[in-house]
A and B are shown apart, each in its own frame.
Chain A
């Protein structure tokens, strides 16, 4: 008997949850007021719900099918797994997307798939879904398609006309890791796909001579994901890989996914609690690299094993290791240095820069901006405040360490 739509939705969303991305931001602004259709994107993404795992639910994140001819050890859908299999029709995915969207559950669709028959056959079905949503149903919401490794360039190009974002997972931070765990995937091919897509995106950004208009092509760019903790790669190597991806392929985001135990998992993988704190520290480091002017080497050189400190956030760890760069005078320092003060976010720095044109700033001013004075006081000079010899204290690090958990008598 054919499985019900509800049953298949259960299987094919369960199969999709190991993909970390659910972003719906960063695409072009558009709406339906002129077209009279359905859907809009207004810049910032919207999380329509949160699951108890703390992850944002912004998109309908499903697989077209979880049948797969690949056997990637870390993947719940690998061919050697006994997980229950199911498949949606193209029409069913479209129906679910539109009906979910109309009830305001979602911002759009994030469609991925196991590989059936061939890469092109699978990719073609996915492109058909995106094309029909746009052209038949006048859908202006967000569409993210996961591109299938080795799909033909023509199909990727067509996908880019209808999708806001395309992504291909590099899966593991090193080539050796990919080869060991995903024998049918080839790191060089994955990089080639990313490179080709980058070129096409660049090309589309150039206004054409005739119309002076830019072609809409993957407006939210491409992203990727790598699994953390399935192999022994250290954080310095992981972040180095990210930096190359951001620099070389202009990826919008690199997602880190703490390796999470899966049902019926391969014996080659550790059955561990997902290293969530490590994942969090990697995201913080990634943020420092992209928005705070840090080099990857600066963030990771503090420890010989190339790992980030799990106890301290990477910005604080950097400041403690580079005390000669402090204290920073908040009334005089440049933006770059203000951004390096632990406890100052981008917004705080912008407020400081604006306010200090008109007055000299004191600690009370920072308190009003909701800055944690406890965290910043050792690192800054303000009107009426110098950190004394706080920076010379050998127990400074201990002051920032999380308090040991209280034990109580039973």
Chain B
């Protein structure tokens, strides 16, 4: 590999993180803050007040042109034709086998223009796949480098935004909707979306204003910076899948229990494979679990039903809200029953746990 491939990238907020006491770790080719004051503290702050996350590493694409909608209908697991402009939809890019290339959010600007928000580690792969599968008239642009993203998440996030923009705009913004706003003269696409299970918003804007908006939002006493560590525990309590851990090109949305984000009544890449899988049935499915104590299973622990191997853990961590180990695992379908007792093991540790449907943390 060359230096250009191995050198980590920094977001425009790198210096802000150092100033805020952030501990920097490598993540998907980026140097990102894993925590500031501590994962548990930041997690609880997001559940109780509001957290601010630097998500500049994630990717954004634009698809434009008269055929953009038709192309996306073919590429994306859910319908886009029936979306109103200003709406967002979560779904998948699938390959011919029906397994997951990426989980993304589609923003419909108009029938001829869409923004796609994709994972950081899959930007190049997704771009290649999309370019290969769109018509010549559709213009594809990777705007990741010229797009900064901040997530403002937590029960007080709307109140904070109301101090920054017209409160009526905040009130009117429904879940999975977006709108253009201006914060202190900075043009921002504001969406009511997130990855924490809390009321929350995502802000997309030009990177030159990243530290300006970061500093502005942190002036509010109810807002604290939150790192990727708590982002992971927050999403795990909800049971949201993480691409590369819980979902990947070895699993389909059917196995991942995410069929509701697939519209089988339309045609798209991967549909035939999913249809076949639905007919034949899947042997393992993704489900949540709660450990009996504070110790958590970690990814790659085996799931045991007595002495029989019955699956694999894909995510595991300590849940700050439940004060127990929690996680996600692929498990033999017959065992995916609420409260079913299972053992989670690696070479030296055995942890007793119970199956939990999602969300893992009910609130």
Physical interaction between A and B: no
